[in-house]
Structure 1
Amino acid sequence: MPLTVQQGKDTVIFVTKEDHSTPSTVSLPKDEPPPGLILPDGSINWSCPCLGGMATGPCGVEFREAFSCFHYSEAEPKGSDCYEAFKTMQDCMAQYPTLYNRDGDDEDELENAIDTNTEKEKSKENRDAAVINSASSPS
């Protein structure tokens, strides 16, 4: 039988090789979905993987302040009172262009891929039209 030790909010389970070879009897609660970005109490889950490390990077403090401002904003339109917080975050991110991709390389790559695909589709349509025209033309 595995040894279980409670450490704060975590449970540590020590198993032997024999324990590991048998199917687990541990199950997650089915009635509680894993927390997402917004916790059930309405607060922000800064540990959510969906943030991609933004809350902990070199501009993590600025990001958290801007995101919190927007999340809790009651202004109309929502977040319109957060201009300064987002400006501060943007200024911070500008200091780390390789990390935050300030120059938009990903957008350029996406646009190039779309343009290339569009050109391929047009070329294929032109070839198909030429084949149809040559097939229907009397010789």
Structure 2
Amino acid sequence: MSTENTKESEISSSIDTAEFHTGDEQPAENDQSQAFNPETGEINWDCPCLGGMAHGTCGEEFKAAFSCFVYSEEEPKGMDCIDAFKAMQECFRAHPEEYASELEDDDEPESDGPETEDEQESTKD
């Protein structure tokens, strides 16, 4: 896998597991669960949908990555945010006691990597 494809996979994984509500979805009337208000162009850092990530130890890194993604015009969306997402992931790794669940998502094996013992046994059947 090339470095560019690896970076694309990393950012896609980060974005997919985050489940952010950026305003692209069709909201219910008076829905307060969106982090991004497309009418004002503002991000609500206190939105429950962000899970408090904007206020944790890595809050500034999270804000930089999320803001970059929200305002990204690159295709696929967010490809210009790789460095910001990498900085956020590095911060998560530096604080595993606070970000264990986010690190678990990063540790999922990629299909291009070597098989684990469990995967090898399941293919023996």
Q: TM-score, normalized by length of structure 1?
A: 0.49
More helix by percentage: 2
Q: Does 1:96 align with 2:95?
A: yes
Query: In 2, distance between residues paired with 1:52 and 1:60?
Result: 11
Give structure 2 stretches of 5+ with no counterpart.
Answer: 1-28, 109-125
Once residues 72 and 48 of structure 1 are traced to their aligned partners in structure 2, the CA distance between those partners, rounded to angstroms, is: 17
Q: Which residue of 2 aligns with 1:57?
A: 56
SS at match of 1:82: helix
C-alpha distance 103-57 of structure 1, shift in aligned 2 (>3 A): closer
Q: Which runs of 4+ in 1 moved over 6 A?
A: none
Query: TM-score if structure 2 supplies the norm length?
Result: 0.54
Letter matched to residue 35 of structure 2: L
Residue of structure 2 equivalent to 1:37? 35
Structure 1 match to 2:73:
74
**One-letter amino acid of the counterpart of residue 104, structure 2:** G
Unpaired segments ≥5 residues, structure 1? 1-31, 109-139
**CA drift at 1:52:** 1.1
C-alpha separation in 1, matches of 2:77 and 2:104: 26
Q: Which amino acid aligns with 1:69?
A: C
1:38: how far off?
A: 1.7
Superposed CA RMSD in Å reads: 2.3
Identical columns (%) = 54
Residue deviations 1:114-134 (CA, integer Å, cap 9, x gap): xxxxxxxxxxxxxxxxxxxxx
Of the two structures, which has the highest relative contact order with CA contacts closer than 8 Å and spacing of 6 or more?
A: 2
> How many residues of Structure 1 are paired with residues of Structure 2 in the alignment?
76
